[in-house]
């Protein structure tokens, strides 16, 4: 056994499980790529101020969960705890908002880091696929992103997820609600940390999962009663567009999400098969974030879906993904000359786009056929001295057991025909 192990709260992805994660990332990103979103990749760490300003200094992410450190050169950096602030920073730095028609539509995939109490579905290192539409204030854009996420989950075979939807208002109407909520919260029996949060960002108290806090929130003022006409009309259109697209959602007046930058539309994807960690993804509109991090006014909307949580949701529903075999053909040489010849055949098949593996290590026929079975290959190519003298190889169908000689010059075309790849 290795002396070292993965750090607490992290995990290694190894085959065959890693193939499921790759398939989930592909399924989530595919609708985005077909809707005009281009791929962006940002560093694994950023200036700590980017997250303090963007995510919010009062959030648990910044105050308790962020991996922050000082470099030898004195820079204050943090491992990225989420993707939106980094992607927006990258777009601003590259002046993407000045290069053509808005919105700038970007998608990303990567690892994120938060110092949390490890439990199933909540890790210190986790994987997300996200999407951001930067620079346009349009209800259709909010609806588009929710529809694309719904499409991705349904393509994976998920059925028992729910979409929760709310509006957080804007800079016109939210301050009025904030004041009313603060007045209500100040009268509750809350601990010191929560009282401090009431003064900094009272909406975050609504997101408190503790039963003793939730119990006291009965009768709290609702944001919907404070929305201005513009926000009310905006939210109405988002809801109508989703309904017209056949995407079911539930109104959740308490939904605020855990980040300070959200405005207007906010949403969450939840799966009831995951227990306490029911959220598989979420997002919303963040019209003021660009200005918070020193950029121009750029109304934007986005989401991030958890790859780890999505895999758990698939398991909860008993959904098995139809993954392509990593190996279609396995070559078994018998003897040194066959080894050289079959290695050349393998190279040719790979160049023709056929997933092919080889019995490395000079093992005997019995061991090599065991390896062929384990590989999941549909066909096995076997050749010894007598076969090569006749200018053929033996092609064995691993399902039926049928074995036929095939001329060396025709191996690629016969294999492709058998596999249906031509």
Question: Per the structure, how many domains does the chain have?
Answer: 3
**Both 43 and 188 in a single domain?**
no
Task: Decide if 6 is inside a domain.
Answer: no
Residue at which a domain ends, from 317, 340, 358: 317
Maximal C-alpha separation, the chain: 93
Q: What local confidence, expressed as pLDDT, does residue 257 receive?
A: 67
Question: Is the peptide bond between 103 and the residue preceding it cis, with omega within 30 degrees of 0?
Answer: yes
Please list the ranges in the chain whose pLDDT falls under 50: none
Domain assignment of residue 88, yes or no? yes
Query: Looking at the domain assignment, is residue 246 inside a domain?
Result: yes
- Say whether both 98 and 197 belong to one domain: no
Q: Are 218 and 232 in a shared domain? A: no
Is residue 285 within 8 A of residue 267, CB to CB? The reply is: no
HSE (side-chain half, CA atoms, 13 Å) at 300? 30
pLDDT at 127: 94
At which of 317, 348, 375 does a domain end? Answer: 317
The verdict on 150 and 161 lying in the same domain is: yes
The distance from CA 366 to its chain's CA centroid, rounded to whole angstroms, is: 42
Same domain, 247 and 268: yes
**How far from the centroid of its chain's Cα atoms is residue 14's Cα?**
17
Q: Are residues 261 and 198 in the same domain?
A: no
CATH number of the domain that residue 353 is part of: 3.40.50.800
Would you state the pLDDT for residue 206?
82
> Are both 73 and 212 inside the same structural domain?
no
Let me know whether 203 and 161 are in one domain.
no
Q: Residue 237 sits in which domain range?
A: 17-170+227-317
Is 220 contained in some domain? yes
Q: How confident is the model over 316-343, as pLDDT tens digits?
A: 999 999 888 789 999 999 999 999 999 9
Could you tell me if residue 401 is inside a domain?
Answer: yes
Residues 346 and 279 in one domain: no
Same domain, 220 and 231: no
Residue 205, in any domain of the structure: yes
Query: Does a structural domain hold residue 118?
Result: yes
Tell me whether residue 1 is in a domain. Answer: no
Q: Domain end: 159, 191, 224, which one?
A: 224
> Strands across the sheet with 403-407, in order?
356-358, 329-333, 379-383, 392-397, 403-407
Cα–Cα distance, 252 to 164 (Å, whole number): 6
pTM: 0.88
Contact 388, 336 (CB under 8 A): no
């Amino acid at each position: 056994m290795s002396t070292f192990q993965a750090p607490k709260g992290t995990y290694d992805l190894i085959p065959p499980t890693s193939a499921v994660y790759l398939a989930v990332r592909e399924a989530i990103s595919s609708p985005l790529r077909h809707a005009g979103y281009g791929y962006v990749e940002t560093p694994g760490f950023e200036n700590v101020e980017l997250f303090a300003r963007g995510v919010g200094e009062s959030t648990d992410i910044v105050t308790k969960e962020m991996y922050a450190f000082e470099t030898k050169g004195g820079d204050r950096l943090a491992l990225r705890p989420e993707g939106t602030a980094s992607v927006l920073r990258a777009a601003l730095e590259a002046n993407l908002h000045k290069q053509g028609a808005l919105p700038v539509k970007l998608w990303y995939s990567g690892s994120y880091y938060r110092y949390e109490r490890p439990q199933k579905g909540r890790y210190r290192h986790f994987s997300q696929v996200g999407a951001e539409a930067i620079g346009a204030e349009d209800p259709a854009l909010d609806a588009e992103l929710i529809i694309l996420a719904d499409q991705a989950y349904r393509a994976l075979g998920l059925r028992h997820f729910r979409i929760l939807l709310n509006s957080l208002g804007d800079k016109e109407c939210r301050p009025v609600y904030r004041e009313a909520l603060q007045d209500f919260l100040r009268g509750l029996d809350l601990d010191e940390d929560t009282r401090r949060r009431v003064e900094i960002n009272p909406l975050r108290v609504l997101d408190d999962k503790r039963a003793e806090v939730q119990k006291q929130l009965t009768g709290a003022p609702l944001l919907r009663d404070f929305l201005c006409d513009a926000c009310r009309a905006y939210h109405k259109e988002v809801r109508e567009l989703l309904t017209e697209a056949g995407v079911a959602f539930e109104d959740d007046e308490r939904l605020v999400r855990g980040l300070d930058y959200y405005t207007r539309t906010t949403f969450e994807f939840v799966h009831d098969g995951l227990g306490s960690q029911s959220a598989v993804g979420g997002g919303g509109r963040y019209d003021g974030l660009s200005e918070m991090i020193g950029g121009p006014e750029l109304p934007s909307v986005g989401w991030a879906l958890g790859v780890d949580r999505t895999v758990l949701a698939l398991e909860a529903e008993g959904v098995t993904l139809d993954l392509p075999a990593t190996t279609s053909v396995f070559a078994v040489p018998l003897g040194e000359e066959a080894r050289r010849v079959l290695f050349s055949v393998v190279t040719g098949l790979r160049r023709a786009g056929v997933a092919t593996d080889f019995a490395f290590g000079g093992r005997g026929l019995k061991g090599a056929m065991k390896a062929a079975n384990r590989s999941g290959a549909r066909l096995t190519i076997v050749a010894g001295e007598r076969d090569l003298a006749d200018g053929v190889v033996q092609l064995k169908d691993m399902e039926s057991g049928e074995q036929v000689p095939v001329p060396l010059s025709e191996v690629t075309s016969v294999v492709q025909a058998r596999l249906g790849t031509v």
